[in-house]
A = this chain, B = another copy of it.
Amino acid sequence: MSETQPDSVVRTYIDTHRTAFLDDLAEWLRIPSVSAQPEHAGDVRRSAEWLAAKLKETGFPVTEIWPTPGAPAVFAEWPSEDPSAPTVLVYGHHDVQPAALADGWHTEPFEPVVRDGRMYGRGAADDKGQVFFHTLGVRAHLAATGAAAPAVHLKLLIEGEEESGSPNFRALVEERAERLAADVVIVSDTGMWSETTPTVCTGMRGVADCEIDFHGPDQDIHSGAFGGAVPNPATAAARLVAALHDEDGRVTIPGFYDGIAELSDAERALIAELPFDEAEWLRTAKSHAAAGEAGYSTLERVWARPTAEVNGIGGGYQGPGGKTIVPASAHLKLSFRLVSGQEPYEVEAAVRDWVAARVPAGIRHSIVFGAPTRPCLTPLDHPALQSVVRAMGRAFGQRVRFTREGGSGPAADLQDVLEAPVLFLGISVPSDGWHSPNEKVELDLLLKGVETTAYLWGDLAEHWKPATA
């Protein structure tokens, strides 16, 4: 409520604490919590301990380190004084991608520096900076309300293995589901359209992937002696790939699109009003052309349409020169991006049937699926989404637009297990260099993130009374 959280109080509070906040973030960035590198396992633990201590210092009455078979997660909880307030679970991660000066960093990746209004360092944007804005944010919220506790029941779950594929995350969430129970999940591990266009992400695609092996002759055989008279498993693999799409770029697997809600005119209009520059997008994609399902724009294709993609194909002789064989085997790695309405296990069954029906006589095949990730989609009229949009609009002083993400993430596990809608609140921008050398965060945007959360909890408590509360 703007009455109890005057924006000037919030801004003054942030200004006053800005230096200490940035110093603290820099201290955290100095811990090289690289989850993919076993030699940094101690650093990942140290990062969890550092964060837990900082959250305690922030005021969270409950801070815990949750071990996993891999790296530990941090959990914190700060209940509202109003028992009927909504419960919000914030998700982020405290582990980071590997980084070394030799990769092209201008300064040491784990010695953060502030230059030209940016803080450079591994994890500045992905994801320590975006986790950290919640600490000063909740303090600014309290400064504005004068209350001793936030207006919502606030929980944080900050995992330590996101950059390693979150191998233990779902099990952790399932095991701790009662502690994590929430009315809404807010994921702070995405970004905005650009420095000048604040946006809220409203969905991520899901993904299902499989490996298919094709076995033809019992060994590579002579293409002179036998070629033209026996089936070739590499040809079988290639024909399957070629048959995946029709001429309009639509996936041909029967049932693949079942259950998908078509984009509404309103949703298409929201996407179309973004200042999209296809040439710039292609430069980012490092692709030399755009291509995809007919009838959809590039953004619609990557955000709102499911795909079938060949991630890898192999078979026969791949060394230098030629080798005149009919190969004994071939293999495919396919992945399917999924959108809201698609059930991964139904897609898997459809793929299995479609493949089995197309493999020719004389070729044996096997197909193995990995664990799928479900798609997430926040309905545009969800009250919590409206609160995020309002809070962000106040912080940025601009109309907030909507994006989605084409990728897939562990947020879907939270949605599945906790049966709560997922929202995305991030202030990172495409130039921040996630997973690249010279990762940075824009300090102005980081502080807008602080300000957004300072407004958000009050707005949410005021406008939303979830049935379960």
Please, what's the 1-or-0 string for A214-253, where 1 marks a CB less than 8 Å from any CB in chain B? 0011110111111111111011011111111100000000
Q: Is the CB of A335 within 8 A of B223?
A: yes
Across the interface, do B228 and A307 meet the contact criterion of CB distance under 8 Å?
Answer: yes
If A222-B407, A333-B322 touch, whether A238 touches B289 (CB-CB below 8 Å) is no
Nearest neighbor of A288 in chain B, beta-carbon distance: B362
* Given A222-B407, A324-B335, A335-B324, CB of A227 within 8 Å of CB of B316: no
A382 at the interface (CB under 8 A from B): no
Q: Any chain B CB within 8 A of the CB of A302?
A: yes
Question: Do B238 and A310 touch (CB < 8 A)?
Answer: yes
Q: Establish whether residues A211 and B322, one from each chain, have CB atoms under 8 Å apart when the complex forms.
A: yes
| Residue A445 CB within 8 A of the other chain | no
Selected contact of A239 from candidates B242, B322, B325, CB within 8 Å? B242
Q: In this complex, which of A227, A239, A318, A364 has the most chain B Cβ atoms within 10 angstroms of its Cβ?
A: A227
Nearest opposing residue in chain B for A230, CB measure: B287
- With a cutoff of 8 Å between Cβ atoms, the chain B residues found around residue A285 in the complex are 217, 221, 225-226, 229-230
Question: Once bound together, how far apart are the Cα atoms of A222 and B360, in whole Å?
Answer: 32
Please indicate which of the listed interface residues A218, A221, A240, A313 has the most CB atoms of chain B within 10 Å of its own CB: A313
- A309 touching B242, Cβ below 8 Å: no
* Contact pick for A406, options B224, B242, B287, B364, CB 8 Å: B224
A321 — nearest CB in chain B belongs to which residue? B370
The smallest beta-carbon distance between A293 and chain B, in angstroms, is 7
User: What string of 1s and 0s marks CB contacts (under 8 Å) between A291-308 and chain B?
Assistant: 111000010011001110
In the bound assembly, the distance between CA atoms of A317 and B292 in angstroms comes to 21
A363 surroundings in chain B (CB, below 8 A) = 288-289
Give bound CA distance, A323 to B370, whole Å: 11
Determine how close the nearest CB of chain B comes to the CB of A319; give it in whole angstroms. Answer: 8
Nearest B-chain residue to A362, judged by Cβ = B289
Q: Tell whether A290 is near chain B: CB-to-CB under 8 Å.
A: yes
Contact B238 A302 (CB under 8 A): no
Are B322 and A311 interface neighbours, CB within 8 A? yes
Residues of A within 8 A of B (CB-CB), count: 80
Q: Residue A312 contacts which of B219, B315, B360 (CB distance < 8 angstroms)?
A: B315
Q: 8 Å CB contacts to B: which residues of A377-419? A: 405-408
Distance in Å: Cβ of A403 to nearest Cβ of chain B: 12
Q: Report which of B205, B235, B305, B408 forms a contact with A310, defined as CB distance below 8 A.
A: B235
Q: What residue in chain B is nearest A228 (Cβ atoms)? A: B307
Within 8 A of B (CB), among A160-217: 204-205, 207, 209, 211, 216-217
Question: A330 at interface (Cβ–Cβ under 8 A)?
Answer: yes
Asked whether A314 is an interface residue with its Cβ less than 8 Å from the other chain, the reply is: yes
**Least Cβ–Cβ distance between A420 and chain B, in angstroms:** 23
User: In chain A between 268 and 302, which residues have their CB closer than 8 angstroms to a CB of chain B?
Assistant: 282, 285-293, 298, 301-302
Which of A234, A244, A330, A370: most chain B CB closer than 10 A? Answer: A234
Asked if A234 and B228 make an inter-chain contact with CB atoms under 8 angstroms apart, the answer reads no
Contact B361 A289 (CB under 8 A): yes
On chain B, the residues within 8 Å of A217 by CB distance are: 285-288
Contact B302 A229 (CB under 8 A): yes
Q: Is the CB of A234 within 8 A of B291?
A: no
Q: Say whether A314 contacts B314, CB under 8 Å.
A: yes
* Inter-subunit contact B228/A292 (CB<8 Å): yes
B-chain residues with CB within 8 Å of residue A337 when the two chains form the complex:
223-224, 227-228
Chain B positions within 8 Å of A370 at CB level: 321-322
A327 at the interface (CB under 8 A from B): yes
CB distance from A450 to the nearest CB of B (A): 27
Contact A234 B316 (CB under 8 A): no
Q: Which 9 residue pairs are nearest across A and B when measured between Cβ atoms?
A: A289-B362, A224-B407, A242-B242, A238-B241, A228-B307, A312-B316, A230-B287, A218-B286, A238-B238
Binding site for B on A (CB under 8 A): 204-205, 207, 209, 211, 216-219, 221-232, 234-235, 237-245, 282, 285-293, 298, 301-302, 305-307, 309-318, 321-327, 330-331, 333, 335, 337, 360-364, 370, 405-408
